[in-house]
Amino acid sequence: MNKLSQQPPITTGNFIASYNASSVNDTDFHDLSSTDFYDTSTGSQLSSGLKFSNVVVYSNNTSSLSYVKFRARTGAGDGVSNTDGVLPVSQSLTYDLHTLEAANPTTIAYKKAAGSDTFFIIASFVRG
């Protein structure tokens, strides 16, 4: 709260965009940054260095897990166990990255359950 006892506005981001990974036909980890996304308001590619503020992940796979992490991958074959610091995605995941103690990331990574899956990431971004 500020000195006027008013809460600052709550925002989900300055930009909203989506990434369609359905044509990525493998199950490796892949990094994404703001330049991989296109603004739904303008159709323009987003600028580099924007920070993720909210992320929605959708997979049509109903029998196997996909994975996401809110940092860059170490390599394409990164692990998916609990000690690897990944979030499992069973069809969908929504997360508000503003709730993280760490600063909002500029890179996230995803891993599809199967190469043929329909897989989307919808994200909002804030300036760095």
CA–CA separation, 94 and 23 (whole Å): 22
Look at the chain and report how many structural domains it folds into.
Answer: 1
Distances (CA, A) of 64 to 1, 26, 27, 34, 60: 43, 14, 12, 27, 10
23 assigned to some structural domain = yes
Q: Residue 53: inside a domain, yes or no? A: yes
C-beta separation of 109 from 69 below 8 A: yes
Does 108 fall in a domain? yes
pLDDT digits 0-9 by tens, 9-64: 556 678 999 999 999 999 999 999 999 999 999 999 999 999 999 999 999 999 99
Q: Is residue 1 part of a domain?
A: no
Q: For residue 25, what is the domain's CATH number?
A: 2.60.120
In a domain, 3, yes or no: no
pLDDT, residue 48, reads: 96
The pLDDT value recorded for residue 102 is 78
